[in-house]
Amino acid sequence: MDMTKLVDFMSFLIYPLQAITAVYGLFLTILVFRRIAQKQFRSQPAADDFLNQVSERLQARDFDGVAELCDSPPYWAKAVPQLMLIALNHRERPISKLRQLLGETFEREVLSELDYQISWVNTVVKTAPMLGLQGTVLGMIAAFGKIASSNRTGVDPSQLAKDISFALITTAVGLMIAIPLVMCISSMQVRIGRLTDAVQHQIGRLLDELDAAQSRKR
């Protein structure tokens, strides 16, 4: 395979690879946003409703009722109810140790998974412009190849324009994929920060009430 055929073959692959990259980036973005939504309450009233139900059961020292509530379908995928289940299973521990356990669990089971998924979105952000640059290089190689052979065959301006257009379009497509994903990553990080703040506040309140319930036993 001579150089011209190799360049043509690689150029043929650029657009399909960019399409695959764009679809994969969109899939990962939707996946992360859905995962964040699953881990948090839909609204503040929904969170307050759950916290109030747990508080009532803790005041009555109905630990089985709390566990049943946390493991019910509306709550079994959310961060706070699942952390509360862990707290109930280890409620014999000192409250300081329990806070540390839940913090480590939240970081390991929720935040690290989200960070892992966002790292793949970052990979797409880096890959898309590189594919665009690859298309630019291939387009310029093809254009200069035609110029180099112009003394034998003459140069068709339309062919040069086609190669240069390919070079510029692939660059633009790469940027069009990367720029929205960069904005999405920023939105993800904001949402993760809000999720973390909400979990810390809500689980802190529940741990205080769990400690109070345990103290009444003693």
For the chain, which residues make up each domain, given as ranges?
Answer: 3-213
Q: Would you place residue 87 in the very low, low, confident or very high pLDDT band (cuts 50, 70, 90)?
A: very high
Is 11 exposed, middle or buried (CB count within 10 Å of its CB: 0-12, 13-18, 19+)? buried
Q: What pTM does this model have?
A: 0.85
pLDDT, tens digit (0-9, with 9 covering 90-100), for 18-74: 999 999 999 999 999 999 999 999 999 999 999 999 999 999 999 999 999 999 999
- What are the Cα distances from residue 19, in Å, to 25, 93, 111, 118, 173? 10, 53, 29, 20, 9
